[in-house]
Homo-oligomer: A and B are copies of this chain.
Amino acid sequence: MATRRSALVTRLERYLPLTPDECDTLDWAERRERRIPAGERLIEQDQTGTTLWIIQQGWFHASTTLPGGARQITRFHYAGDLMGISSIAWDWSANTLTAVSDCIVSELSKPNLGRIFKQQPRLAALLYAVAAAEYVAMGDRLTSIGRMGAMERLAMLLLDIRARLRVTAGGVIDSFDLPLTQQDIGDAVGLTKVHVSRTLGEMERQGLIARTGRRMKILDEARLLDMTGFVDRYGVIDTSWLPG
């Protein structure tokens, strides 16, 4: 039977058409597709691990739990993302990876990542560019948490999630499922769940967003953009410098 095309390939092709060789190299490097139900953990913080994962389907979040029990969600991962970045630099995971929805992931071993660098330099450079974009996006989140009030932080989060979902969805979306508890949302933006509840309520009252269960709709995009200065870091990536 025809194997499904890797979500990583699909994502990368949004930025740059890949050669058949490059696609083959990626397909060959991915192994052991696995199904992870919502809520389950792929790896635990500080746990040994020398594998990266590629999300084929679904969402994850990466979190850190502090000695006192507080938790910070440092980022979300979506279909087409390379996950488990800390395993690149060490032999253990810096984060806990939790499935937000039902997911399918496949493995990419570190040696296979090395082979990609050797055999497909252009692909490697593209992965580097994507990583650079995500680095900048994390800087944006840092700025949001460090210097914005509760409502702006939440606005930023919603805009960020939507922008990234658009890459996977391959088009413009204005409403999306947000399968997160308010506790999760708070852990992502550095607020308590109580304050998240109040603030989301206030945003709804002001006509900025609408909620139906856990479906989120952005109503007043202009004002959300205005209050946050949000910039989409996922839509476009410069590939002109990649080696031939």
Contacts and interface: CB of A to CB of B under 8 A. Distances in A.
Interface in A113-131: 113-115, 117-118, 121-122, 124-125, 127-131
A190 B146 contact: yes
A72 interface: yes
Contact of A131 (B132, B148, B238): B132
- Pick the most buried of A50, A90, A141: most chain B CB atoms within 10 A of its CB: A90
Interface residues of A, number: 63
Nearest to A130: B89
Contacts of A141: 142
Q: What is the count of identical protomers in the complex?
A: 2
Interface string A169-199: 0000000000000000001011000000000
A128 B124 contact: yes
Given A86-B136, A114-B242, A64 B143 contact: yes
